[in-house]
Chains A and B, each alone.
Chain A
Amino acid sequence: MPSRTERPRRVIVEQGGPLLVEGPVEVELADGSLATSRRFMVALCTCRRSRTYPWCDTSHRRRTKPEQQTPDQETPDAQTPDQETP
């Protein structure tokens, strides 16, 4: 899906998920730093839970209790998608 000069760049809003933007994309973050992705399509995090912000890492997904799981305190990572730094 290469962007064409005669067509405006399209941004797709995914309900409950990321914004999809045709790449490549540069994002200027609040602290002034730049994040760059050269992918043909870029998924921008809107839930703010991504550990690869500003890119989506699917942390927006709904959570379900699996049939077999151990208590949450034994899960250092899976339960807390916004606490680990990559």
Chain B
Amino acid sequence: MNRSFPWKTVFLLVALAIFMIFYPKWVGSYFLHLTVAAFLTMILSSSWDILARTGQVSVGQAGLFGIGAYTAALLFQWIHLQPVLGMLAGAILAMGVATLLGYLTLRLRGIYFSITTIAFSEALSVIWLMTPSVTGGAMGVSSPPLFGGNREHAYYLILVALALVIFVVWLIESSRLNLAFTAIRENEDVANVMGINPTRYKILAFMISAFFTGFAGGFYSHYNTYIIPHEVFGLGISIGCLVMPIFGGLYTITGPIIGTIVIKVIEEYLRVTISYGHQIAYGLILVVVVLFMPEGLVGLWRRRILPLFNRDQG
């Protein structure tokens, strides 16, 4: 892209923003609910992708999600903290935990880190089940509906959060951070020699990732009004966080968004057709993407579909 002001991009963004602001007026309540759920997943998948840019695959985002969810829910239960503040508290706590966890484990490479993150979320699940006096145990914690059950307000809140995540991803992508992340991902030893401290950058990426994941957890607990350890710390959430960006296309802004939209549609269809095990699609998608389309949908678009149009025009 050239240096002149990107009128086209700005115009598209403004149009998108206006569309998104008026969106709740045009769709029904059920569709709005689906959209909120999809936005929540987009936040999770985009923030997973931030960490993935440094070459670290977290399979334990549910741990951070659960911390956010429980912080928000329990703070409301204990001191009636305003829900949005509770979500922020959840985000900050998740970020703190990620900093500590990252400091301890991000020296580990590749698969070791992934296994540690699974162990982390499963360990939290056990701790939560075993300390019911503090955490509510297996019975979970409930909170009153967010904004008195006003779905439109919830929509605007999650829209702002999503916009913020995308803005942060864009900032990372257009700054020197992206170069450092990519260098670490491509070859950690070389990055180290070039004067990039891999662990420090990985922790930074993990912190940003955890902040938004924790916020999403807090939002979920208030929006859903009810959380249990098996769900918020569950494998399903951790897998969801990674399938969407991998399917959409790794290390891109649009990949996690597109991946989420397509998978949510498939999932919603499967949920209606089969009562159990609709996550079978996640497994299938992971296998197919790794084997046949390593750059995901975005890569497929860039490599296969775009050239067709260009040829037609030329």
Q: Do chains A and B stick together as partners?
A: no
B-to-A contact residues, CB < 8 Å: none
